[in-house]
Chain A
Amino acid sequence: MREVLFFADLNAEFDNIINNALSLISPLTGNLAAGGNDITGLDELAFDDAAAIPSVAGRLRRNGVTLGWIGTSGTLLRLASTNVDSQAILGLQNDAQLWQVYTDTDDDFVIRDSTGATTRVSITTAGVLTYTGSVTLGAGGTIIPAAVSGTPAQHALYRENVVKGWARITVAGGVPALTDSFNVSSITDTGIGTVTVTWDRDFANDDYVCVCSVTTPFLGAVGGASSHLVGSNRVISMNPADPPTAVDPEEYHVIAIGDQ
């Protein structure tokens, strides 16, 4: 005897297989659950034009030409095909602030804030980033330039041309005072007209240059090789008399440049 299976029997036997199949044909009237599986072999995914951004975190939704995705804390990521410059944009929104990142017709990278103000960074030549604003680094931020290679580029900043240490030392009786400095650990008063500057960070070798000037009418000098060390340098103030003698100036000005 042959058994006849009706829709109800098939649905009961195979977990609503007929209803699901009908729904996939069109129109889909309910939710489609993948049950934690991947959807593979998909060619395109078409979204209807929804009236607004996604309603729930973790969902994608199309609104006009914008594809929006809500992450945590209400942050909205937008991908849109056009903006004021008719360019593709990436929009980042947190609360009421919408920041847009896009390229303009000059191939500049543009960051546009919620007020419409823009900041542009351009790549006019491969490897050259041009920005006309100022760059402010937060606490602990540094710029470490590369070493020069061959003829220095015009106006370029290299690690070899950065001042690595400086000091302004004043003498007004007692012991010389370090009025201001950079990369100086301490100064040592070794006698009339002589001060040793100890660097905070050593130089890589003793090939660095140290320059000392002092207030008029005296002459500034640096000590000999025995006091020109990777970690310190002795500076001297001389009276230009004949013969010269060490003498305290009102101020020493010291600058050092070299490899670290």
Chain B
Amino acid sequence: MSSLMYTCRAYELADGTVVVVVPASNSRRRIIENLPVGPLVAGETRVTPDPEDGLRMRVERLEPEADWYARTMARAETTNPALAGRPFEDLETADLPADRTARHAWRLRGGRVVVDPAVPAPARPARSDAIAAATTLDELKAALLRSGR
């Protein structure tokens, strides 16, 4: 279970739309250190004797979660310049709208991602040439059947 209070970052792009970055949990790095013998520290995942120096122990632990999250977001912004410098909110994925049918209308409002009913639905794609060119009912039916409508 995450100790962070957020699991994703919602960015508001220049056109007002929202994109959400979800970090890959298995991209947390493992840090291996040779430490003096001593009590274990919470979060260390494995301890084995150092074969080269019995007075020390090899400690393997995960990168601190906050460091991993910050690094992951920085990388997302580097690879996608549209995110750099844009307003964002760190959120729990469970706090995002559960229904994606209005995904186009997701907007960042008051520190949350909400569905803005004022956002118009995206324009329907242009119909295919076959439908537009149909001049008889049979031709239109055939074109519609082929198009899956």
Contact = CB atoms under 8 A, between A and B. Distances in A.
Q: For this complex, into which size category does the number of interface residues on chain B fall?
A: 35 or more
A81 B83 CA distance: 71
Interface of A: 139-140, 167, 171, 173-178, 180-182, 184-192, 196, 198-200, 229, 231-232, 239-245, 248
Q: From B8, B25, B100, name the one whose CB has the most chain A CB atoms within 10 angstroms.
A: B100
Interface of A is mostly: strand
Contacts of A231: 75, 78-79
List 4 tightest A-B contacts by C-beta distance, closest first: A231-B79, A242-B147, A241-B148, A232-B79
Contacts of B27: 181, 184-186, 200
A186 B22 contact: yes
Nearest to B94: A174
Interface in B81-131: 83, 93-94, 96-100, 103-104, 125-128, 130-131
A243 B23 contact: no
A198 B80 contact: yes
Contact of A185 (B32, B76, B96, B126): B76
Contacts, number: 110
Contacts of A192: 100, 103-104
B24 interface: yes
Contacts of A182: 26
B32 A140 contact: yes
